[in-house]
A and B are shown apart, each in its own frame.
Chain A
Amino acid sequence: MIRLTGAVLVAAGAAWLGFQAASGLRKQVRAIREMAHGLSVLERELELNSPPLPRLLAQGEAHSQGPAKELFRGCARGMDNLARESFSALWRRLTGQLTGLGQEGQAILAPLGDTLGRYAGPRQLEALSAARRRLEELAAGLEEDSRRRGRVYQALGLSGGAFLVILLL
């Protein structure tokens, strides 16, 4: 009975690992999509009202979710201290903390801090729009990947668990 329980637990654990790996990919896709949506909020607001950056970020925070909300909130707060940390350094630092986006997502996002608030509105819009499109492409690619790899991870988890059970029994 104990051996059977142990075997079931091992099988379930291995399957869980497989499902976790698959869910990690889905989470990354969701985070990137939320970030892309956050950038589209900034684009819209910039195009309509062209507000100062602190107000733009506050609007972004109010209408975004997940990592975008976190990034915009952090940047808006950090702007009280521009004498110590420039906006571009602040944006890069906070982008580096958004591990949920993955390295590729972070790499797309980080250079935006060099453009936001430093150029005329149209140039900022171009940069935002380009970053959003690249994030959407990345999310689409990862989604496809996650479907394929997710199934593999799930299958590997289940079959690995079954293999261990056979070995143990």
Chain B
Amino acid sequence: MTQMNGSESYVQAARALPPRLRREALSLPEQEQSRAEELRLRVGWPMTALLEGEERSLGGPPVEEEELEQLVEIASHASLHTVLDQVRRGYLTMEGGHRIGLCGTAVSREGEIHALRALSSANLRVARQVKGAAAPVLDRLCPGGRLADTLILAPPGLGKTTLLRDLIRSVSQGEGCTPLRVSLADERGEIAALYNGRPQLEVGRRTDVAEGCPKAQGLMLLLRAMNPQVLAVDEITAPEDVQALITAAGCGVTLLATAHGEGRTGLERRPMYRPLLEEKLFRFLAQIRREGERYVYTVEELRT
């Protein structure tokens, strides 16, 4: 796997665009290409780029519905049947791990979204891996050189997933700690971004990925099938996820997970997360906060 710089990732993501929109996207100066987080396409409006949280119009003619259909065709290699489950959930992952969020008129069957027709918007998110993101906390999370049970906690947008991905990669590769077999339940494909069975973002050579299945089921499947030493999951959001983690902890695997939250007290206040703390599932709580332009990591020991 080749590590790309910011603007190379942007150019790769822009390849999914139909020719006219691709030209527009590539007209952005290289420095801005390397900072652009998303390209947003809305039918009837010019395409925009998201730079540091602000949308900037690229000034071209309005996006046509046919162009959104073309985007899906190019990104899926004209193989919608292979990504239909993703599309039903409103996104599709393309080569390089870039993700296209889709919006349109939902076709429902038996209360479930069966398909999206008449696409109205698309959001092309440029995937960028930050290698070394785990370096500031790795030593503290690996007492004696071996990763301990860790919960990463931060509000949205502060880089929980990025930190989790790099921790998985480091542990799986044995960079700065003992190498361990990691099993990853990647329900939404945001961590490894599997494409044709291959992770598009580096998660290490000893990592097995279960993508697309609900987290709780994915965790149990991995526990049964892959004999992991570390079980990793992004965003604990349901009581079933908590229960699955409690079961896994009983099997002797090291747990690595993330959760949305503002701090330990916030976590303790939310009933869903209480069992995690009561059962002392995690030894470390790694928190991320922003101070001005920089991210600050703190590690708190929950059990000794």
Residues of A within 8 A of B (CB): 50-54, 56, 79, 82-84, 86-87, 116-121, 124
Contact = CB atoms under 8 A, between A and B. Distances in A.
A1 to B, nearest CB: 67
Given A52-B196, A82-B73, A118 B78 contact: yes
B44 interface: no
Interface of B: 15, 17-19, 22, 70, 73-74, 76-82, 84, 196
Nearest to A121: B81
Given A83-B18, A83-B19, A50 B81 contact: yes
A54 B76 CA distance: 11
A124 B81 contact: yes
Given A54-B78, A83-B17, 11 more contacts: A52-B77, A52-B79, A53-B77, A53-B78, A82-B73, A82-B77, A83-B70, A118-B73, A118-B78, A119-B81, A124-B81
A128 to B, nearest CB: 12
B19 A119 contact: no
Contacts of B196: 52
A141 to B, nearest CB: 32
A22 to B, nearest CB: 40
B74 A82 contact: yes
A86 B70 contact: yes
Nearest 9 A-B pairs (CB), nearest first? A52-B79, A117-B78, A87-B78, A53-B79, A121-B81, A53-B78, A82-B74, A52-B82, A117-B79
Given A52-B196, A83-B18, A87-B78, A120 B70 contact: no
A155 B304 CA distance: 100
A75 B84 CA distance: 22
A124 B70 CA distance: 19
A120 B18 contact: no
Contacts of A84: 19
B75 to A, nearest CB: 9
Given A52-B196, A87-B73, A82 B78 contact: yes
B187 to A, nearest CB: 21
Contacts of B80: 117-120
A3 B68 CA distance: 73
A52 B94 CA distance: 13
Given A83-B19, A83-B70, A86-B70, A54 B81 contact: no
A28 B293 CA distance: 71
10 contacts: A51-B82, A52-B76, A52-B82, A54-B78, A83-B17, A116-B78, A117-B73, A117-B78, A117-B80, A119-B81
